[in-house]
């Protein structure tokens, strides 16, 4: 499973990228706001050192305006994936931009039917939001499983990009269900290394090592 990092914080992306933990990046208007930077400027910087897809989101609501914004964003770098919402206008935009050879990430997906429409419109990625479904007492993993089954049934090449990842368990479950990609904040990706038994074992090793009075260097 590919790891995308869900942030516009350049320093955080660089840290994970240097460790080989970044296969791509996703941003959205909320993350751009949090970064406090111009969308074109920060996206260009991210694309300068991340070789995988970098999602940049349109903010228009009508198809013709979305298409214009998408083309502008795609000019930033060859690895831009234009992010559009899963609305009818977003699907129209997806079809036009994908036909022009641009990667398109269709976001805010909450049903298998929506995912089916996105695939037929030529989406490179479909982004089902797991955490937000959990918020309303629905199991986001059921949606991932349904989309996986549908895409496999008909050979759709659209990649399932699991989004709204909030916990380490979400990541493991997505991998088990068969998501192609997951995108998560840096803090969640870092948390994957944590386990109470690892900490306990290391603490015991350090105590025993101190008793030997030895040094390696």
- Report the alpha-carbon distance of residue 125 to residue 182 in Å, rounded: 11
CATH number of 2-192: 3.20.20.70
What is the rounded (10 degree) CA torsion for 71, 22, 112, 191?
A: -140
Query: Encoding tokens for residue 32?
Result: 């751009």
Name 210's Cβ contacts closer than 8 Å, sequence gap at least 6: none
Catalytic residue among 72, 83, 120, 200: 83
Residue boundaries of the structural domains of the chain: 2-192
Q: Running DSSP on this structure, what letter comes out for residue 113?
A: H
The beta strands (E) that lie in the chain are given as: 2-6, 24-26, 54-57, 80-85, 103-109, 125-128, 159-162, 181-184
Residue 131 and residue 217: Cα distance in Å, rounded?
Answer: 47
| pLDDT tens across the length of the chain (217 residues) | 999 999 999 999 999 999 999 999 999 999 999 999 999 999 999 999 999 999 999 999 999 999 999 999 999 999 999 999 999 999 999 999 999 999 999 999 999 999 999 999 999 999 999 999 999 999 999 999 999 999 999 999 999 999 999 999 999 999 999 999 999 999 999 999 999 999 999 999 999 999 999 999 9
Give the number of other Cβ atoms within 10 Å of residue 16's Cβ: 18
Active site residue 83: yes
Whole-model pTM above 0.75?
yes
């Amino acid at each position: 499973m590919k790891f995308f990092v869900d942030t516009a914080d350049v320093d955080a992306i660089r840290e994970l990228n240097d460790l080989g933990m970044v296969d791509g990046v996703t941003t959205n208007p909320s993350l751009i706001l949090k970064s406090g930077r111009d969308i074109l400027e920060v996206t260009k910087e991210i694309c300068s050192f991340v070789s995988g897809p970098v999602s940049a989101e349109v903010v228009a609501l009508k198809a013709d305006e979305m298409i214009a914004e998408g083309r502008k964003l795609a000019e930033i770098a060859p690895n831009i994936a234009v992010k559009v919402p899963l609305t009818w206008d977003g699907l129209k935009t997806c079809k036009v931009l994908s036909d022009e050879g641009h990667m398109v990430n269709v976001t805010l997906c909450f049903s298998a039917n929506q995912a089916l429409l996105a695939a037929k419109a030529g989406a490179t990625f479909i982004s089902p939001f797991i955490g937000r479904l959990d918020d309303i007492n629905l199991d986001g993993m059921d949606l991932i499983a349904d989309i996986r089954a549908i895409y496999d049934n008909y050979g759709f090449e659209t990649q399932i990009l699991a989004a709204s990842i909030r916990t380490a368990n979400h990541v493991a479950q997505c991998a088990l269900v068969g998501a192609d990609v997951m995108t998560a904040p840096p803090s969640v990706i870092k948390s994957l290394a944590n386990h109470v038994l690892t900490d306990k074992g290391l603490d015991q090793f350090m105590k025993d090592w101190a008793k030997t009075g030895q040094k390696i260097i």
